[in-house]
Amino acid sequence: MTPRKPPPLVRILLSEQGDWFGGLVASLTHGVARLPIAVAAIVPPTIREEDLLETAAKQKFHMAILILNNILYTSDNRTDIVNASVVLVEKMTALFQKPIIAVYGWSASENYPSRLLRAGAVEVFQLPWRNEDMQQAIKRCVNIW
């Protein structure tokens, strides 16, 4: 009898701590998989931008889902935070060359989503997102289906 191969492992970098977010992303990912898969949520030890970048540099991952409003940036100024979130997406896209789904709850301007797309995000969602839309975005980001 041939030993069973383990299912493919999909590794997703998340900016958000807490089991609820990792569980939701895993459930959405399983929902679009045609074959059995395993999902690993990679989460930094804190919500600080530096910890996110360090975790991303040390881990192998297929894609990232970042809730940009919940990341602690160096500045507390709202305009600076918006700009820092765009720079973060740009930096992560250049450094890691992995698909990034950018999620935000507030927007400083109407052009914020287009700025995130120009920075390298493959998809941008405002909270709350429609689960079906997020599933399709995940499906486009991870080529194991």
- Map out the domains of the chain with their CATH numbers: 9-141 (3.40.50.2300)
| Cα distances (angstroms) measured from residue 45 to each of 1, 42, 49, 139 | 42, 10, 11, 27
Taking the model in full, what pTM does it have?
Answer: 0.92
64 CB-near residues (< 8 Å, 6+ apart): 12, 13, 14, 15, 56, 92, 96, 98, 99, 100, 101
pLDDT at site 4 = 77
- State the Cα–Cα distance between residues 27 and 21, nearest whole angstrom: 10
Q: Tens place of pLDDT for every residue, the chain, 145 residues?
A: 667 777 889 999 999 888 888 999 999 999 888 888 999 999 999 999 999 999 999 999 999 999 999 999 987 776 788 899 999 999 999 999 999 999 999 876 889 999 999 999 999 999 999 999 999 999 999 876 5
pLDDT of residue 34: 80
Predicted pLDDT of residue 1 = 64
Q: What pLDDT, on a 0 to 100 scale, did the predictor assign at position 108? A: 65
Three-state secondary structure string covering 75-132: CCCHHHHHHHHHHHHHHHHHHHCCCEEEEECCCCCCCHHHHHHHHCCCEEEECCCCHH
